[in-house]
Amino acid sequence: MEAEFKAWAIHTKSNEGHGFIGRYFFCFKHDLFLPPNLEGCQVSLFKTRKIAREYLPEVRFAFPNAKVVKVKVGVTIGQ
């Protein structure tokens, strides 16, 4: 069985190769609670581009070249 969906993420575009912003990046400032059923995804994903862009300034404080990008997320049953 496979499932696929589209979402929005923030890529750091850093020279050090940090990649996508992780799921806990915003927890320090916003005191967000991440329920156990969401801890499996390591990348911070947003439902809409608009929401992702609202968080972009916080990321650009540490990663000035950061950019909001559309991503395709796939889930497959392992063997």
How long, in residues, is the chain? 79
Cα–Cα dist 12/34, whole Å: 22
For residue 74, pLDDT over 70 is answered with: yes
Residue 37 CB neighbour total at 10 angstroms: 7
pTM of the model: 0.84
Mean pLDDT of the 44-63 span: 95
Q: Which positions ≥6 away from 3 have C-beta within 8 Å?
A: 74, 75
pLDDT tens per residue, range 28-50: 666 667 778 878 889 999 999 99
Q: Which positions ≥6 away from 1 have C-beta within 8 Å?
A: 76, 77
